[in-house]
Structure formats: C-alpha cells, structure tokens
Amino acid sequence: QLQVVESGGGLVQPGGSLRVSCAASGFTLDSYAIGWFRQAPGKEREGVSCINENLNYIDYADSVKGRFTISRDTVENVVYLQMNSLKTEDTGIYYCIGVRKAYGRCLLGAPHDDWSWGQGTQVTVSS
C-alpha cells in the first residue's frame, strides 16, 4: 500500500502559524488526490482539506476555511498544509493520505483503500 511521511508539527501559540508537510518516496504524489486529516484527543479522525492531482479542485472543512491552505510542490514531491490563525481546537495529530474522488472532485474525509496511514505529525496549539 502507498504511504507518506508527515512532518512539520510542533507547539505554537493561538493565532500563530505552522506548515506541515507530507513527502513520498518511490512514487509521485502528483498522480493522486491527496487529503489532510487530523485527530484530536478523544475524537474521531476528520478530513481537513483535499486537493486533486491536477489542482483543479480543492476543498476545506468549514472549521478551517480561510485559515488553512493546501498546496503541492511537484519538484519536491511534497504536499503542504499551511495553517494560519491557529486555534486551540486545531490541536491534534495531522495525517496525509490519498483520498477517493467522486464526479472529478477529491472527497474530504474519504481515504483511499490503496493507502495506509502514516505516523502523522503532532500539532499543539496552546499558550
């Protein structure tokens, strides 16, 4: 199964910014719709954002719209999630994984069966 490595998490104060990354080796991320998920303590994992392989569609959860930006670096074979104006409720482990599509659009919160979850990267927003 396909898998990526997440990195870039850390401790940040409310209102701060952080950028998390997911990198692949042995295959090209550009060939897949990719999504970011997060799991807060005691809660289920939820979809945060997704991006089509050809960049023609991007989606965000309502809770992060206007604050988070998903992007790709095709040269580095990396997908980023830039997080601004962070809130304490953004705390959690952030994961990156391939996602399913419907009608040509990546599906938020729908991991693809051909992928397995990585270790994730911890993001803690606290004063």
pLDDT at 81: 98
Tell me what pLDDT residue 64 has.
98
Backbone angles phi, psi at 87, to 5 degrees: -120, 160
Q: Which residues of the chain fall short of a pLDDT of 70? A: none
Q: What is the pLDDT of residue 114?
A: 92
Q: Are 11 and 126 in contact (CB under 8 A)?
A: yes
SS3 at position 103 = coil
* Tens digit of each residue's pLDDT (9 = 90 or more) over 61-96: 999 999 999 999 999 999 999 999 999 999 999 999
pLDDT of residue 54: 86
86 φψ region: left (φ > 0), alpha (ψ -120 to 50), beta (else): beta
Give the pLDDT of residue 20: 98
Q: What is the pLDDT of residue 6?
A: 97
